[in-house]
Structure formats: structure tokens, C-alpha cells
Amino acid sequence: MSSGFDTKIAVVLRDDLAGWQSLNVTAFLVSGITAAVPELVGEPYADADGTRYLAMLGRPVMVFAGDADVLRTAHRRALDRGLAPAIFTADLFATGNDADNRAAVAKVARADLDLVGIAVHGPRNAVDKIVKGARMHP
């Protein structure tokens, strides 16, 4: 079934995360995509009573899982294709704010990042190739 979108958003999570960690990491990663590509956000919602609700992404987010090697490979593939991913490393579970998050990432070389999740937005076929080897998150 075709979604009708020419681009795709995908999140790849390490498959050994606790449930709360998977949800938290997904939320952080998708916020990175939203910040980078704000035109992906749709219009605000309203119910039949006129109560207003916040706008959300106007397209689905596909969530995948894989081991550490799958994440490293997806990370490399995204960078090789010129797509900047949002990343979440294991170190970020121990920080408490954005400045500390950025500092934790900045002190680790790219090859040594302990990735627990990445998110990428780009052309559908490129994103499909980036996440190849990951499976749909349970």
C-alpha cells in the first residue's frame, strides 16, 4: 500500500532497550526530525466542540529495531547518503538537559558512539536502503 508521500521518516532503535527507553528515545529522535524539517508538521486539530489541539507530523513514522551493528550500519548509510540523522546514545540516559546531551555526544568520536537510536528523513528509497537489515519494532 502506497502512502502517497515521496519522503519517509524512520526510527531505528536498539533491540535491547526497555519499553520506556524505546518510547523516550523515539520521542526525542522524532523531535529532531521535526525541528530540522518543520514543513512536515500538519495543521492544528480541533474536535467537534471547537476545542483546539496541537498540530502533529502529517505523515507516519516507521519504527524499526535492530542490534548495535544494525544501528551503526544505518548511521553510516545515512551519512554516506548525505542525510543528517538524529541520534540518541546510551550516555544520554544519564544526562538531564539538552546542553549535557550535546556535551555527552561531543566528547565521543563518531565511530565510538554507543548508539541506541537514530532517526532519518529523506527520499523513500534512500530511507529504505538506510534501514535495510532492521525489522519492524514489535
CA dist 15 and 111 (Å) reads 20
- What's the confidence (pLDDT) of residue 5? 83
Amino acid (one-letter) located at 62: M
Higher-pLDDT residue of 18, 2: 18
What number is the average pLDDT over the span 85-107? 96
Round the average pLDDT of the chain to a whole number and report it: 95
CA 123 from centroid of its chain's CA atoms: 15
Nearest to 120 by CA among 56, 37, 57: 37
Per-residue pLDDT tens digits for 23-75: 999 999 999 999 999 999 999 999 999 999 999 999 899 999 999 999 999 99
The single-letter DSSP state of residue 110 is: G
Nearest 10 degrees: CA dihedral of 30, 35, 38, 42?
40
C-alpha cell at 3: 502512502
Give the helix ranges, DSSP H, for 1-138: 19-36, 68-80, 98-106, 124-130
CA dist 50 and 48 (Å) reads 5
- What's the confidence (pLDDT) of residue 136? 92
What number is the average pLDDT over the span 84-106? 96
